[in-house]
Amino acid sequence: MSATEQMRAMLDQLMGTAREGDESKHRYHFTDHRVCKSFLLDCCPHDILASTRMDLGECNRYHDLALRADYEKAAKHKDYGYDVDVSID
């Protein structure tokens, strides 16, 4: 990963998908069923157990740091119940 890509990832993580003012270019919203709800809560078992004997392989859901930032910002105003719905897919 180049330095530019690392900086872009850090900005996405801090500011979310709307950091450049245009949300339409992003493929998913954090409420989309294809987005990993466990990843949004920073507890995806596929990531946590990576490189262990219990490795589950790659998660089949979409992971994006910008979506996590969007979720964290929105969760301050509304409870989406993702902490209850989190499951291994």
Q: What is the DSSP string of 10-58?
A: HHHHHH-TTTTS--TT-S--TTSTTB-HHHHTT--HHHHTTTSTT---S
| Its pTM surpasses 0.75 | no
Tens of pLDDT, residue by residue over 26-66, are 678 888 989 999 899 888 888 888 888 888 888 999 988 88
Cα→Cα distances 18→11, 12, 29, 53, 57, Å? 10, 9, 11, 38, 31
Model pLDDT, residue 25: 53
CB 64 within 8 A of CB 28: yes
Sign of CA dihedral 77, 83, 85, 86: positive
Q: Which residue has the higher pLDDT, 28 or 13?
A: 28
Whether the per-residue pLDDT at 20 is higher than 70: the answer is: no
